[in-house]
Structure 1
């Protein structure tokens, strides 16, 4: 490591370092977080229906919304297709709208959270871990595209979103998940 190589082993080590963040991008449509248990039921842009799952995801208004998938629901990250990471220490998806660097963006997250004008919350019942990926892909193909597994505990989450400008050249989207008792 540290020799400027981009080999798989070094990339894996880089992601294992404390503070390293893994980002997921889409080809232009919304990203979606689908519970692992219902991944096979997400058809993406494929399918015989007049409106594909991808079309349904594109119809979600605002920064986030829920769509039924199998016997569960997926969280659609709407608005614009920004690079997105999950910060477990904040319990939130962070969307890179504008920043000069990853370090600058991540340093602004606490200020963004403190000053956010949050949208209305939605309740999301989660059966366990979810996978974040480009909603155009079928759930069975997430191994072939950029995806991120987020280890959520089963239960109910209050989800709220905001788009914040914490610095003069920094815009960040926040989608916060808070575990709800009961």
Structure 2
């Protein structure tokens, strides 16, 4: 786990160059990552997601793919959002821009994501059974259906970030 600020304040996850994925803990063993004998691995399926977000079936659930580019990503529970660091001089500057960025973002099309509870965010190339070898963060989400929307925001001349906002629609 990469930490740019005080330990435990914000935990950033990075990938080796591909997309990140948020997989419900209940189905982690079903995510094979880049492993497997199939002609198209789970990682290949994640790489095929077009745009900032997409959903992929994993076991009897759905995982959220954070596509577009392999940016350092953190989940900010106070904002219900994944923040993807595209460019910025400092973490403090980037994080300070998040509230205004969420209010002024031009959001893309929403998708609905059914979540059974806690998810693990990690590099989509890794199998769900071996996330200890990669950056990852555990995100406690309330079970239910979420509206997921994404936007690229430039809150300052040298600061760009992608936002993936989650809004609980129907708790279980």
After TM superposition, the score normalised by the length of structure 1 is: 0.90
Deviation at 1:142, TM superposition (A): 0.7
Alignment of 1:2-81 (within 5 A): 14-16=6-8, 20-81=9-70
Unaligned runs of 5+ in 1: 1-10
Aligned length: 167
Unaligned runs of 5+ in 2: none
- 1:10-40 Cα offsets, whole Å, 9 max, x none, are x8xx434xxx100000000000000000000
Indicate the RMSD between aligned Cα atoms, in angstroms: 1.1
Deviation at 1:181, TM superposition (A): 2.5
Deviation at 1:61, TM superposition (A): 0.5
Moved >4 Å (runs of 4+):
none
More helix by share: 1
> 1:126 pairs with 86, 109, 115, which one?
115
CA distance in 1: counterparts of 2:107 and 2:50, whole angstroms: 15
